[in-house]
Amino acid sequence: MSFAEEERTTLEDQILWCDTRIEQVKSVRAARADLNQTQMISDPLDDVYDDEDRRIAGKLLWRELSADAHVLGWAVFQRSTFVPTAPGVDLAMGLISVKLDDLAEAFLVAHALLERGWRLFDQRSRPAGA
């Protein structure tokens, strides 16, 4: 198979780009970068929200929902009301009530982040000059 000079140059550029990306991925893997979930959510929140209070609330919401998902006690204890148990029962029983507003905020934050993320994806996926 023979290529015209322009096609060969384009193909060589693409191969060089792929080789560069492969090396970049190898270097990240070799560095064993730490997964910092707080930083992982901080960056998109900083990009989406100008208001510092919204960014702080988004980080707190991220930590609370993550803690809830992993059944971590600190998140539950902050929002619990403990009730008396029967005599001789060694376990405590806590009740957690959630308002619709609390759940809605999580969906609003998720929607704003996803909307921004997909918009960036669409912009970056367009061919150059399109």
Residue 129's pLDDT is 66
Residue 91's pLDDT is 83
SS3 80: strand
**What would the pLDDT profile of 64-97 be if each residue is shown by its tens digit?**
888 877 877 777 777 788 888 888 888 878 887 7
Helices (DSSP H) in the chain: which residue ranges? 5-31, 37-48, 52-69, 73-78, 100-125
Nearest to 95 by CA among 105, 106, 107, 85: 85
**Cβ atoms of 38 and 59 closer than 8 Å:** yes
Residue 69's pLDDT is 79
pLDDT band at 130 (very low <50, low <70, confident <90, very high): low
Backbone angles phi, psi at 95, to 5 degrees: -110, 140
